[in-house]
Amino acid sequence: MKSVDTIIIGGGPAGLSAGIYAMRSRLNTVLLEKYMPGGQMVITDFVENYPGFPQGVGGPDLGLAMEAQARGLGLEILSADVTSVDFTAEQKIVVTPEGEFHAPTVILATGATPRRIGVPGEDRLTGKGVSYCATCDGAFFRDKEIAVVGGGNTAVQDSVFLTRFADKVTIIHRRDALRATKILQERAFNNPKIEIAWNSVVTEITGEHKVQTLTLKNVQDQTEKVIPVDGIFVLIGTDPNTGFLRWMVALDPAGYIITDEDMQTNIPGVYAAGDCRRKSLRQMVTAAADGAIAAVAAEHYIEALGDR
Ligand code: NAP
């Protein structure tokens, strides 16, 4: 068992920013990360909207820089998968296979996981042409024909990125208008390698050892057609990684953690930051800002405990 002032769960921009602020506040802090620090930055090819980088910056580079900054301030980052938490007492308990961590304050920065479309063939062919990460797998599709499902910023931005490799990218979108921001839409509309299948959903992915065809259904006239593709990128948003909380903090119906403007959950001393939190804009810059606010709130909470 290890006792600290603050436990940060998750090492994306929210968790690392919280770590930087917590270390500058001289809080004895540990950051627990399941995989590797960086979170979704690690699977983001290029970041164009994080202030301070007028030419843009690689997502993994930005992640490494944030990690280096946090470690440089003395943040302890441990590889640990949190299995459960107990926030019922003043000393909160975070349980991992590597042991328990106790602290008066916890910052939940667990991010979100890519959604699946849930059609036949998707699970069986994941890793065999079905992908959830353009940055990770795009280069496997050099000179191939591929599809992207989704109409948000990720789907549209990544479709443009995928044209660096693929001969043709078909965006499959369930409506007749994209959700993505206008500047990204313009890039897609002006890219000769991108086609858009409007009002369409994928109903089946087939292929014996790797993806070969998709069945598309037009949701307006219910007609179906089969298109040959070498790969399909499912980029339809994310779900929050909050299952392990098991009713310990208040969540909204979609599973996002509800906080006040100081990032505090319904449990005093427990904060949430970044994509796992209910909010209107999930971006690296807002995740980093959440982390900073949460760490400062945790510092104030610990100070108030000392005054009691
Ligand atoms: P998103 O904004 O939630 O968009 C998800 C897209 O997938 C929507 O077009 C949605 O369709 C579609 N979709 C959802 N469920 C579906 C299903 N079961 N079947 C078919 N289509 C489905 O998710 P995101 O694009 O991953 O973006 C997540 C967050 O990151 C957003 O806040 C976004 O702004 C941010 N982001 C920003 C940038 C940037 O600023 N450059 C880049 C990437 C991501 P509908 O439109 O019909 O709902």
Give the mean pLDDT of 125-145.
Answer: 91
pLDDT at 221: 97
Q: Residue 308 pLDDT > 70, yes or no?
A: no
Per-residue pLDDT band for 154 (boundaries 50, 70, 90) equals very high
Give yes or no for residue 153 CB within 6 A of ligand 1.
yes
C-alpha–C-alpha distance, residues 14 and 203, integer Å = 36
Mean pLDDT value across residues 249-258 = 96
Please state the rounded mean pLDDT for residues 280-294: 94
CB 156 near ligand 1, within 6 Å: no
Compute the distance from residue 180 Cα to the ligand 1 centre, in Å.
Answer: 7
pLDDT over 80 (residue 41): yes
Q: Which helix (H) or strand (E) holds 16?
A: helix 13-24
Whether 137 is catalytic: yes
pLDDT exceeds 80 at position 261: yes
Residue range 37-46: mean pLDDT, rounded: 84
* CB of 149 closer than 6 angstroms to any ligand 1 atom: yes
Mean pLDDT of the chain: 95
Q: What is the pLDDT of residues 159-208, one digit of tens each?
A: 999 999 999 999 999 999 999 999 999 999 999 999 999 999 999 999 99
Distance from Cα 154 to the centre of ligand 1, integer Å: 6
Instruction: With a cut of 80, say whether residue 280 has pLDDT above it.
Output: yes
**Which range is least confidently modeled, 19-23, 125-129, 264-268?**
125-129
Domains of the chain by start residue, with CATH: 2-113+238-306 (3.50.50.60), 116-234 (3.50.50.60)
Q: Are the CB atoms for 5 and 302 separated by under 8 Å?
A: yes
Clarify whether 276 is annotated catalytic.
no
Between CA 113 and CA 190 the distance in angstroms is 30
The pTM of the full predicted model, rounded to 2 decimals, is: 0.81
The C-alpha angle 161, 162, 164, rounded to 5 degrees, equals 80
DSSP letter string over 240-285?
ES-GGGTTSS-B-TTSPBP--TT-B-SSTTEEE-GGGB--S---HH
Q: Quote the Cα angle for 51-279-262, to 5°.
A: 85
Handedness of CA 290, 292, 295, 300 (dihedral sign): negative
| Contact call for residues 18 and 291 (beta carbons, < 8 A) | yes
